[in-house]
Amino acid sequence: MKPLLVVNPNAGGGATGRGFNAMKATIERALGPVEVAMTSHSGHGIDLAREGARAGHPLVIAVGGDGTFHEVANGLMQARQATPGILDHGAQIGLIAQGTGGDFRKALGLEHRLDKYLDALKSGRERALDLGRFSGGGKELHYFANILSAGMGGLVDRYVARASRMLGGTAAYFGASARALLNARLGHLTCAVTYQGKTDVHRIRSFMVAICNGSHFGSGMHVAPMANIGDGILEVIALGSTSKLGFAMTSRSIYAGAHIDRADTVHLRGEKIVLDLTNDDARDAYLLDVDGEAMGSLPLTIEVVPSALTLRA
């Protein structure tokens, strides 16, 4: 059966949809005939990937941004839940990144070129891909492939969704970031982390905490340089600056990963994390960003699912 491409035509500011015919021809020269399913709305990629797995496609490739890969991963996991064993001999996941951020492909070490994505897909190389699984935040059970953050990132997502795009996506993002910093609240967090069978409860004060399977988020922030998508561990990172000015200055260092060396940066690791706020005045502003998508608020219970999917890369 042919590989299935789950394509978000709006990725890259609509460039994916406009240039897809030429892209498809290049893809088929490398991989052979493919089947294409275009997403039409948020969450549609979940349905398309789930049905693709059920139909027996040996490889389901996300063509779009980090949000598209997120949806395909969730669709494949839904197929597994409904039919145990369905992914054991097929329905691997693949990526042709076409979004503006491209954070997850950085965790995979893939250069942002179509020929490099196709080389990885046709190589036959397989990698175990862990996923984070969480309940809460308005979701009974959901997965993330890259990073779940709480605090500033979710607030930025909210404002980007409401922003006018007349000036372009970059201007909308920076405007949303400035507004989010103005309206952000310092979170007083309880973070119960279970690692190798032992649970410790930590109290953290931060404008943002990130639960990381991958290494990058926020269009290039190297938030968890030590993260490994296949080690069965989630990394917990929180910036320790408790003033808005300090947070803004410290957050600049994330792009180079230099924040990890700061004495006030919190770094924890574990297989399970239970996260909540103790100051209710921050709850409305302490929102979730899940693989780049706005998705509710705290409290959350998060667990790693080791080797949840097989990645062709």
Residue 27 pLDDT more than 90? yes
Q: How far, in Å, are 11, 221, 246 from residue 258 at the CA level?
A: 30, 10, 15
39 & 96 share domain:
yes
Farthest CA pair distance, the chain: 56
State which of 124, 143, 177 marks the end of a domain.
124
Q: What is the spatial distance between Cα 177 and Cα 186, in angstroms, rounded to a whole number?
A: 16
Please report the pLDDT score of residue 106 as a whole number: 93
Q: For residue 190, with 0-12 CB atoms within 10 Å meaning exposed, 13-18 middle and 19 or more buried, which class applies? A: middle
What's the domain range around 237? 135-307
Q: Could you tell me the pTM of the whole model?
A: 0.93
Tell me the per-residue pLDDT of 162-205, one tens digit each, with 9 for 90 and over: 765 555 555 667 778 888 889 999 999 999 999 999 999 999 99
Q: What is the spatial distance between Cα 11 and Cα 21, in angstroms, rounded to a whole number?
A: 15
Please report the pLDDT score of residue 91 as a whole number: 83
Q: How far, in Å, are 59, 81, 120, 134, 241 from residue 50 at the CA level?
A: 12, 10, 23, 19, 42
120 & 139 share domain:
no
How many domains, in total, are found in the chain?
2
141 & 99 share domain:
no
Please report the pLDDT score of residue 89 as a whole number: 66
Tell me the average pLDDT of the chain.
92
108 & 160 share domain:
no
DSSP H helix total and E strand total for the chain:
9, 16
The DSSP element (H or E) to which 34 belongs, if any, is none
State which of 99, 124, 149 marks the end of a domain.
124
Residue 82's pLDDT band, with cuts at 50, 70 and 90, is confident
At 72 the three-state DSSP class reads helix
> Which DSSP state fits 272?
E
193 & 65 share domain:
no
Domain of 35: which CATH number? 3.40.50.10330
Cα 221 to chain center, whole Å? 13
Location of structure tokens 């049905």: 51
Tell me the per-residue pLDDT of 264-309, one tens digit each, with 9 for 90 and over: 999 999 999 999 999 999 999 999 999 988 898 999 999 999 999 9
Pair 122, 31: CB distance under 8 Å = yes
Residue 284 burial (CB count, 10 A): 11
Return the higher-pLDDT residue of 171 and 145: 145
Domain of 300: which CATH number? 2.60.200.40
Strand partners, 276: 190
State which of 124, 155, 179 marks the end of a domain.
124
The amino acid at 7: V
Q: Report which of 35, 33, 32, 36 is spatially closest to residue 9, judged by C-alpha positions.
A: 36
Locate 125 and state its tokens: 């190389």
Location of structure tokens 């080690």: 231
